[in-house]
Structure 1
Amino acid sequence: MSVPPPPRAEPVLFEAVITPARSLDRASARMVALLLALPVAATAAMFAWLGAWPVMGFMGAELGLVLGLLARHHRRSARQIEIVQLAAGRLTVTRHDGRGRREEAALDPYWSRVSLRERAGTACELRLTAPRGPSVEIGRCLGDAERRELAAALAAALRRYREPRFDNPQLRD
């Protein structure tokens, strides 16, 4: 008995992995925590000196709450990701949000178009549209310049997919 070979994976023609900007690393997060704790400690010491020592517990709880929410936001933004992938015959947009939920939209790359719509006063909107399919917004966490760059790269990849160039050595001069 012979075992059939595993199916070949489709070649990926274009892939964009989009993650939100994260400006705080571990050292910066510690610095923010220290900058938040110093005024709280000074104020708590002043209240203790005035004899209102029960206020210290509330101020400590408030600081703990703020730092906990900051850490939670930091962890959730680390898990957020959006992947736009063009493979042979399929254009997929996969999103993972901070809570672990996953969304996926599949479009036909031959009919899909990249649409960059300008909006007054806010960032532009980048969408993948199809005449009879879904319209998917991509690059929600990107700025204007990054959205324009992604739109140009994705439009070029879709153009190459729809209009392939074949190199036949026999037809060369």
Structure 2
Amino acid sequence: MAARGLSAVAKFANATGTLVVLALVLLINTDVVSRNLFHAPFPGTYEMVQFLMVMIVFLQLPDVIRINRLTRSDGMLAVLADRRPGTARFFARLIDTVSAVFMGLIAKAIWPEFLRSWDSGSFMGTPGIFTAPYWPIHLVIFSSSVLACLIFASKAILGKRRPEHLHLEESGA
């Protein structure tokens, strides 16, 4: 039941990330039109592109993990799965456990940054031209890292990624 809830939240975050991609396309196109028609850039485009790129990556990361599309080299596990499926399952769970720990460490590291940016009202950009607060990106990094940590942990506990099927995943079957 909890895995189903994590899956739904990951799908929602991915859909939100897709909408942010569309917003980024609109922003860049607006900047291009502004530069060509008015000979002036759209204010804040550079800052917003930096901001939105990080947001897109972290919003879509949990769902990428959920559907086993995270870029990685599973060659050793695929070979091991043919010869020693139990050992391959152990290593797959170990990798998911270590990944959960790392995502938890990212969440732990960004939480104080979120609190600091929330309390201080720190912003990026140039006052008078364009400014945006830092806290939304810190919140996205924190919440997506927590979600990714939970998904990796559930995979480690439940053994959702079965190494005996890795060769099927690699061939697209």
As a proportion of its length, which structure holds more strand? 1
As a proportion of its length, which structure holds more helix? 2
TM-score relative to the length of structure 2:
0.30
TM-score relative to the length of structure 1:
0.30
Q: Compare CA radii of gyration and give the structure with the larger one.
A: 1
